[in-house]
Structure formats: structure tokens, C-alpha cells
Amino acid sequence: MSDLVAMLGLPLLACLLMGSILSYLGIHVLKREVIFIDIAVAQVAAVGALAAHLAFDVEDGSLISYLCSLACVLAIAGFYSVARHKVTEISIEAIIGISYAITAAGALFLIGVAPGHAHADEMLAGALLWVTGQQLLVGLVVFAAVGFGLWLVRKPISAVSRDYAAAAADGLNVAWWDFLFYALLGVVITVAVRLSGVVTVFALLIIPATTSALFATSWFARLLLAWLVVIIASTAGLLFSYRYDFSMGPAIALSLGTLLAVVATIVRLRQRWTVRPA
């Protein structure tokens, strides 16, 4: 038991820490219909880290690497907010997909210029097994600050998430609130991806929020259910990885996906049973 706690304690804390903020952001992401924003922003952050490695010869986790990633994330946040406001011929989801393709190509080019850089593999699968207390402390400070900021501006950001056009008609500066949301989301993703990789972060962002949407419509109820999903799936995924010597990040993503599939099946069967004629 002591070995189990020693190996899985910090990874579980990391998952719960990330899931607490990603679940809330995921509800907004679903309402805004920008499902792949996580992967796109993570790719942009990776380009920033690779650029820092080439320009300043620094490794991942250094302050300069974080600052370069953050600068790229803020730039793409500004681009998305302006594009959504100004470009009406193309959906924001298509713009996000295009930007991902371009930045992915840029990342591959930079990796080719700087061979041996390990960021690409870690960005996908993560390194949850090796997470440290210092990394968790940094994550706690960043996520708490972002969470507090989101709470302060919850009304305008929620209004934009619910109905972009209606918020604009009501006089809200939708481009500014869009930028702020994407910027805060980008900050969270930049830190979270370095803890657990894109696969895990994407799963924690989308799947708990989707699962909670099957049962509730209010923000508070959905958030509580999403947190419950994070706790159950993270624990199950880590135990699975420990038992079968499987990579932690993919195990958690698989656990989240399995839980969603089971819950969706139960909900569907219940609906069919409810409407079955007597």
C-alpha cells in the first residue's frame, strides 16, 4: 500500500488539480463549440517552447521557456478573438483547426532544426509519473489565480459563452471578453500540458464537461458532476496504469472515455425504457 501511495499520490493530486479548473473551462468550451481549442493552444505553446530552446538554448520548465510559450498563447488568443468577431464566412472551429495545422507544421520544422529535443513526446503523453511537488505548487498558484480571475469576470464571459450574438447585441465588448477567456485558458493549458501531456489535458477538459451535460443544465450542478467524474476516472486510470504497467496519461484518458461511454449508454437505455409504451 505504501508503494502504491508513493507512486500514485502526486500524479493523483496533479489530476485533481488540473481537473478542478479544466472542468469549468470545458463547460465554456462546449457551449462555445470550440472543442479542439485545447490541442491548438497546446501546439502553439509547444512552438513557443521550441523557439525558446533554439533562441536561448534553454530547456522545458525554465522561466524563459514558459514566457515564450505564454507570449505565443496570448498572441493566438488575440487572433482567435479578432477572427471570431471579424470573420463571418468561416466558423471559429475551422479557424482553430487551420491554426493547429500550421503550428503543428511549424513545430515539426523546429524539431527538425533542433534534433534531440524531447518536448514533442512529453507534450503528447506527458510525464505524470515524474511530477514533482514543486510543479504541483506552481500549478496550484497558477490555477488558483486563473480561477479567481474567472470568478471575477464570470458574468460577461458566461454571457458570451451562452450566446455570442446576444452578448454583442447587449453592448458587451465580445472581442475583449473572448480574448480574456482564450488567454486564461491558454495559461492553464500551458502549465497543465507540461504536467500531463496533451492527451490527458484534452480528456480532462472535454470529457467531464460532456458527461455532466447528460444530467444537468445549470452551471453549478454541471461543475459538481464534472468534478466527480474527474475524481472517479483519475483514480481508476491511475490504478489501471499501476496494475498493468501502462502509461498514466493515456490510462486516465481511456478511463474518462470509458466512463463517458458507460454513462451515455445507461442514459440512453433509461430514455428508451421511459418512453416505452405500456
pLDDT tens string 174-189: 999 999 999 999 999 9
Residue 35 and residue 28: Cα distance in Å, rounded? 10
* End-to-end CA separation in angstroms for the chain: 52
Q: What is the DSSP letter of 114?
A: S
Task: Quote the domain boundaries for residue 104.
Answer: 2-275
Query: Per residue in 229-257, pLDDT tens?
Result: 999 999 999 999 988 888 898 899 999 99
3-class SS letters over 212-278: HHCCCCCHHHHHHHHHHHHHHHHHHHHHHHHHHCCCHHHHHHHHHHHHHHHHHHHHHHHHHHHHCCC
What is the domain-level CATH number for residue 245?
1.10.3470.10
Instruction: Name the band, by pLDDT with cuts 50, 70 and 90, for residue 54.
Output: confident
Report the domain count for the chain.
Answer: 1
Put residue 115 in one of left, alpha, beta given phi > 0 → left and psi -120 to 50 → alpha: beta
Q: Rg of the Cα trace of the chain?
A: 19
> Average pLDDT, whole number, for the chain?
88
* Mean predicted confidence (pLDDT) in 9-21: 95
Query: Per residue in 25-43, pLDDT tens?
Result: 999 999 998 988 988 998 8
Residue 70 and residue 58: Cα distance in Å, rounded? 15
pLDDT at 141 over 90: yes
